[in-house]
């Protein structure tokens, strides 16, 4: 294994942190949308993400409703 | 259409943030907003060094790919799954935008009673070597320091 980041260049390592957060956010938005379009419940999505149902609902419900996703009640 | 700091941030930069799926308006969204003000001297200066809106989007994606590669992740942006953006979302001002506004206010010549215009915002935006914008410009082969000097000169010469 090579080293993950160049120990001499914290700028690149910190930029990688920002890039990973962006990637995680993008994946979360797209994959929650995909799951809900497939008929998953909020509780199921929350369980996989390891957060509360309220948290995932608060973060995504408005966007998915506006996107025309038919959401299950629970 | 007025092009002061308020309209740029509230209208264009916020729309860019929304399109980007971002919960905050960051410096890169302001850069895209400035490049989109085609009648402004700031957008013309950006276009002169090749920074059209499309070129900026490409550069930001390249920066993203390069920074992910540092963490060992090979991703092509075009292959990422898309998420539907939230049209009603109102992203708020992010930290990088706050910094650029402070730098814009501090830039010479001293800001009188007037509002901050596009060129002053561009000067503030280009003032830092840190963050996504600086890295994206580097990825695009743009000399940020030289561009900043030109913007500062234009501002001093009266460009808004």
Q: What is the pLDDT of residues A6-60, one digit of tens each?
A: 768 899 999 999 999 999 999 999 999 999 999 999 999 999 999 999 999 999 9
Smallest CA–CA distance, residue B5 to chain A, in Å, is 26
Residues on chain B touching A7 (C-beta within 8 angstroms): none
Q: How far is Cα of residue B81 from the mean position of the Cα atoms in its chain?
A: 25
Each residue of B20-44: pLDDT tens digit?
989 999 999 999 999 999 999 999 9
CA-based nearest residue in chain A for residue B61: A19
Do residues A63 and B86 make contact, with C-beta atoms less than 8 angstroms apart? yes
CATH of the domain at B51: 1.10.1780.10
Do residues B103 and B128 make contact, with C-beta atoms less than 8 angstroms apart? yes
Whether B89 and A15 lie within 8 Å, measured CB to CB: no
What is the span of the domain harbouring residue B18? 5-156
C-alpha to C-alpha distance for A8 and A12, rounded to whole angstroms: 9
Number of structural domains found in chain B: 1
- Best mutation target among A16, A31, A58 (most B Cβ atoms within 10 Å) is A16
CA-nearest of B45, B52, B30 to B146 is B45
């Amino acid at each position: 294994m090579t080293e993950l980041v160049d120990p001499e260049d914290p700028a690149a390592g910190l930029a990688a942190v920002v890039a990973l957060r962006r990637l995680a956010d993008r994946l979360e938005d797209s994959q929650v949308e995909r799951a809900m379009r497939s008929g998953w419940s909020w509780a199921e999505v929350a369980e996989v993400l390891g957060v509360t149902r309220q948290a995932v609902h608060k973060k995504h419900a408005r966007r998915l409703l506006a996107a025309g996703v038919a959401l299950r009640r629970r | 259409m007025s092009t002061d700091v308020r309209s740029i941030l509230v209208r264009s930069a916020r729309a860019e943030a929304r399109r980007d799926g971002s919960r905050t308006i960051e410096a890169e969204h302001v850069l895209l907003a400035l490049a989109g003000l085609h009648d402004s001297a700031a957008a013309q200066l950006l276009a002169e060094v090749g920074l059209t809106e499309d070129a900026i989007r490409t550069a930001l994606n390249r920066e993203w790919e390069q920074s992910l590669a540092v963490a060992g992740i090979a991703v092509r942006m075009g292959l990422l799954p898309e998420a539907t953006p939230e049209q009603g979302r109102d992203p708020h001002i992010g930290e990088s935008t706050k910094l650029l506004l402070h730098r814009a206010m501090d830039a010479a010549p001293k800001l009188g009673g007037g509002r901050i215009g596009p060129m002053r915002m561009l000067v503030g935006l280009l003032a830092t070597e840190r963050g996504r914008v600086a890295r994206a410009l580097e990825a695009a082969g743009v000399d940020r320091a030289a561009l900043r000097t030109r913007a500062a000169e234009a501002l001093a010469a009266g460009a808004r």
